[in-house]
A = this chain, B = another copy of it.
Amino acid sequence: MNKNIYLQIFNDYSDKIQKGQLVPGTKLPSENDITVEYGTSRETVRKALNLLAQYGYIHKVRGKGSYVLDIGRMDFPITGLISFKQMSKKFGWDTKTHVDEVKRVPANAEVARQLHIPANEPVWRVTRAREIEGERIILDKDYFLSSIVEQLSEEIASHSIYEYLEGVLQLKISYAKKEISVEEVTAEDRRLLDLHDFNHIVVVKNYVFLENTTLFQFTESRHRLDKFQFVDFARRVHGEDLP
């Protein structure tokens, strides 16, 4: 039970902040106090506090202390990877998934470029419409390298593909690059979504990599304009501009 002390500390304090037991604007105990509280070393405490700061729960000021922020419980944290399934569970939405297609096809030029593979290489194409509170709002188009994901089915696609990939296939998904832009609505969007008379659609492109740094999935999530939101938390870097 003494494993990952810093995660324990992180979870304890993020819970307290989310539950309002620690009021925004107030100070956390000092690092030394927390060190004593958990009977651990200061570097371990600092690791936990830095995580809290990274997630927007607290803000640290040298010479003063760590302050509780009021944006720890964010409305829509897409920052980081989070699947549709996790999201809807988190917000208690009434959701449904409509699988339009699960098919192994040769990659067309566009997809081949996105996945960095030769054209006509076989890929799984999965097309799903997401219904939230009675309206079809999101169109997910996934492409998987079929050299890595050998089998797929409508059955799997109607649940969580990620659970299948990580649970059954034991793939280790490690990081992703995400791009948000706006495109014109296509005939397919119109066919599969409740689009009213919108002419544009928000497109979130997601390039997903495995632990061995191979790109194995490309996903295009097409969101109806009026239902799209993205929230981010950013820290300003003083002095050097790192990025």
Contacts and interface: CB of A to CB of B under 8 A. Distances in A.
Given A213-B25, A234-B79, A177 B229 contact: no
Given A61-B211, A213-B59, A229 B181 contact: yes
Given A69-B213, A181-B228, A211-B61, A242 B55 contact: yes
Contacts of A237: 80
A79 B79 CA distance: 10
Contact of A175 (B77, B177, B233): B233
B179 A229 contact: yes
A241 to B, nearest CB: 7
Contacts of A69: 213
Nearest to A7: B240
A227 to B, nearest CB: 9
Given A80-B243, A177-B71, A182 B199 contact: no
Given A25-B213, A80-B243, A241-B86, A236 B178 contact: no
A200 interface: yes
Interface residues of A, number: 57
Given A43-B43, A200-B225, A213-B25, A235 B182 contact: no
B182 A180 contact: no
Nearest to A173: B236
B232 A178 contact: yes
Interface string A43-86: 10000000100011001010000010101001001011110001
A91 interface: no
Given A176-B234, A235-B175, A182 B228 contact: yes
A143 B240 CA distance: 27
Give the number of times this chain occurs in the complex, counting copies: 2
Contacts of A176: 233-234, 236
Nearest to A208: B236
Contacts of A238: 172
Interface string A76-120: 010111100010000000000000000000000000000000000
A31 B67 CA distance: 33
Interface in A200-235: 200, 202, 209, 211-213, 225-226, 228-235
Contact of A236 (B59, B174, B179, B242): B174
A234 B56 contact: no
A242 B200 CA distance: 34
